[in-house]
Amino acid sequence: MAGLTVLDASIIVAHFSGADAHHEDAVAILEGADGLAASTLTLAEALVEPASAGRLGEPLTSLLELGVRPVPIDEAAVATLAELRAETGLRMPDCCVLHAAIIVGADAIGTRDKRLALVAREKGLETP
């Protein structure tokens, strides 16, 4: 069982879509965490499709009801994000996931992205 878990967009999207190949994994990750958080960029990325369909309210409310704590990106994050991107070669959205995990002192990152999971484990985070 993971403690505080930072989610990436694929896990959030999969949670809301029963047809997604990672739906069961996403549900297990959310249920197995003691606490949940996600970067504000990650939340926005995961909510693009519902926003395009004009139904943003329901998934946003559901995330808050699940206890997903938004982790803001502020001006202090600029250097850390640049360093994470340079060090890991990950895409910036994945660096935002790592940054959120660092900021909140997370125990785990919920992802099915293999590169992000590898870097997360290298940094001592679980990847349930």
Residue range 63-103, pLDDT digits in tens: 999 999 999 999 999 999 999 999 999 999 999 999 999 99
CB 72 within 8 A of CB 40: yes
3-state secondary structure of 106: coil
Residue range 97-110, pLDDT digits in tens: 999 999 999 999 99
The answer, as to whether pTM is greater than 0.75, is: yes
What is the torsional sign of CA 64, 98, 28, 17? positive
70: phi then psi, degrees, rounded to nearest 5: -70, 135
Residue range 14-31, pLDDT digits in tens: 999 999 999 999 999 999
Residue range 32-47, pLDDT digits in tens: 999 999 999 999 999 9
In a domain, 77, yes or no: yes
Domain that holds residue 21: 2-122
3-state secondary structure of 38: strand
The tokens for 87 are 């060090």
Task: Please count the structural domains in the chain.
Answer: 1
Mean of all residue pLDDT scores within the chain:
95
In a domain, 128, yes or no: no
pLDDT at 1: 53
CB 90 within 8 A of CB 98: yes
In a domain, 63, yes or no: yes
Amino acid identity of 16?
F
CATH number, residue 25: 3.40.50.1010
